[in-house]
Amino acid sequence: GQLAHGSERGMLYELLRKTYSTLPIISHGWDHIHRCLITAVPIAETEACSIDIVFAAALLHDVGFIDNPDPVGHHERGAAACPSWLPDWSAGERSAVAACVYSHKGEAKGFRTTPTTIEQKIVCDADLLEKVGYAGMFQRVKTFVEFGAGCWPEFASLEHVLRHLAQ
pTM above 0.85, yes or no: no
Residue of 87 and 131 predicted with greater confidence: 87
The pLDDT-based confidence of 146 (bands split at 50, 70, 90) is: confident
Of 92-96, 114-118, 147-151, the one with minimum mean pLDDT is 147-151
The mean of the pLDDT values for the chain is 83
Please give the torsion angle defined by the CA atoms of residues 53, 54, 60 and 61, in that order, rounded to the nearest 10 degrees: 130
Cα–Cα dist 91/70, whole Å: 28
Residues near 18 by beta carbon (within 8 Å), at least 6 away in sequence: none
